[in-house]
Amino acid sequence: MMAKSALAGIRVLELSGLYGAYCGKLFADLGASVTLVEPPGGSPMRRKPPFAGDVPGPDNSLAFAYFAANKDSVVLDFASEEGMTSLTRLAADAHLVILADHPAFGRVDLDKLCEANPALVSTRITPFGASGPYAHMTGDDLTLMAMGGLLTMAGFPDAAPVVAYGEQGVLAADQFAAVASLTAILHAEQTGQGELIDVSIQESIVMALENAAQVYQLEGRVRNRTGRAKQAGTGIYKCQDGEIYLLAGGIGDTQMWGNFAEWMEAEGVAGAALFASPDWNDKAAGAEEAFGRVFLPYAAGKTKAELYVLARQWRVPMAPMSMPPDLLDNAQLAYRGFFVPSPSGTPLAGVRMPGAPYKLGETPWALRSAAPRLGSPTASNTAKEVTA
């Protein structure tokens, strides 16, 4: 039996390129009907490496297989009158148009689509926003992480700032675009009034600056990259079979350092009395070295998994430093059935990919169909359903 879907009945047109797709995916995975509008030759995401077997091909991109699952596809040539007419017709019957870096995005007139369909929500994602002094500039994940202020906080003081893995900057905009779009759809469903939404990737990255803006306003200090945290007991530490990340003191006012000190004492760790001492200052000069002399010999005798269990028992924030193969073996993720097999019908059938990012009790996340083959709308009932 088909489970209920929270977003059933919402029709989305996704005019994406290398970004915009995760915004559409969030809708598709909760039951919206999402149509990827591709240019002749296919979405640029189809050409994004790596590929299955390292062989390029329109259905071989791993990223495309993931980001386009649950979507239908239609090929429209916006350079032709026929293509534009088809887009207008589809938009007249849609609830949401997502316009990102589709190769022909410049030909799309969102105002016109909104005029023809007053209840339509149109969301445009651009590097810097649709207007303003930087609106003409280009950007990709690296340069936007720079302009958005997150890059400066990452890395070592003695080397160039270094960007985080996985194009998280452009993905940040996709996520905020989804939140804004769904909010506007809820409003449109109540009032009949659509919305035109302008999302900036740069500004989406600015949302991730933690307390840097407030540190600047209140302390006049600019947060920059520091490499390792300047706090003993905070950072990456070696253990028997790899590394862990320890945040022994937590953030803000917590009892976690006390928990950590008790843990060390209960294990009979030599020198652990230092941690319980009222004179202990984790930011003092030499504190990290003193910390390491006590903690590292203990950690060297324990595995990541053993330390994780102990940290849980003692209520100390700590986690193993995972690499991709570890994730597929992670017992917690397996218990929750997080990774799900790709549906049949593509070169990636059976390959496990990330599944539900949340479990909605009544209207579960569901993987219904594989990414569409180029130019052929997928039947949304071909693949077996995997629910969260």
Partner 1 sequence: MSRLPLAGVSIIDFCWVGAGSYMTKLLADMGADVVKVESTRSLDSLRLAPPFKDGVRSVNRSGYFADRNSSKRSITVNMKDPRGVEIVRALIAEADIVANNFRPGTMEKLGVGYDQLVALNPGLIYIGMSMNGDEGPDRMMLGYGITMAALTGFLGLSGYPDREPTGTGTNYPDHVPNPCHGAFAVMAALRHKRRTGEGQKIDMAQTEPMLALMPTPVMDFQVNGRVATRQGNRDAAKAPHGVYPTTGDDRWIAISVGTDGQWRALTRILGADSLDRPEWRALQNRLKNCVAIDRAIATHTLQRDGYELMDALQAASVTAGVVQNAADLIDRDPQMRHRDHWRYLLHAEMGNSIYNGPPFRFASGPVGPRLAAPLLGEHTREILEVRLGKSPEEIDVLIAQEVLI
Q: Is 364 helix (H, G, I), strand (E, B) or coil?
A: coil
Interface positions, 269-308, toward partner 1 (CB under 8 A): 308
Q: In this chain, which of 86, 168, 231, 387 binds partner 1, going by CB under 8 A?
A: 168
- The beta strands (E) that lie in 248-345 are given as 318-320, 339-341
What's the CA gap between 57 and 52, in Å, rounded?
9
The reply to whether 217 sits near partner 1 by the rule CB under 8 A is yes
The reply to whether 335 sits near partner 1 by the rule CB under 8 A is yes
Residue 241 and residue 235 in contact, taking contact as beta carbons nearer than 8 Å: no
**Among residues 268 and 361, whose Cβ is nearest to partner 1?**
361
How many residues sit close enough to partner 1 to count as binding (CB under 8 A)? Answer: 150
Q: In this chain, which of 74, 90, 196, 274 binds partner 1, going by CB under 8 A?
A: 196
**Among residues 81 and 253, whose Cβ is nearest to partner 1?**
253
Interface positions, 23-82, toward partner 1 (CB under 8 A): 26, 30, 49-50, 52-54, 62-63, 65-67
The reply to whether 232 sits near partner 1 by the rule CB under 8 A is no
Interface positions, 349-388, toward partner 1 (CB under 8 A): 351-363
Task: State in angstroms the smallest separation of the CB of 218 from partner 1.
Answer: 4
Q: In this chain, which of 118, 227, 297, 301 binds partner 1, going by CB under 8 A?
A: 227
Q: In this chain, which of 92, 179, 296, 300 binds partner 1, going by CB under 8 A?
A: 179
What's the CA gap between 326 and 328, in Å, rounded?
6
The reply to whether 253 sits near partner 1 by the rule CB under 8 A is yes
φ, ψ of residue 324 to 5 degrees: the values are -50, -45
What's the CA gap between 366 and 30, in Å, rounded?
7
What's the CA gap between 124 and 201, in Å, rounded?
10
Task: State in angstroms the smallest separation of the CB of 83 from partner 1.
Answer: 26
Q: CB neighbours (10 Å) of residue 379?
A: 11
Q: Token pair of 356, please?
A: 């539900």
Q: In this chain, which of 166, 192, 278, 286 binds partner 1, going by CB under 8 A?
A: 166
Residue 125 and residue 199 in contact, taking contact as beta carbons nearer than 8 Å: yes
Task: State in angstroms the smallest separation of the CB of 184 from partner 1.
Answer: 6
**Among residues 107 and 228, whose Cβ is nearest to partner 1?**
228
Give whole-number Cα distances, 189 to 71, 119, 165, in Å: 23, 8, 38
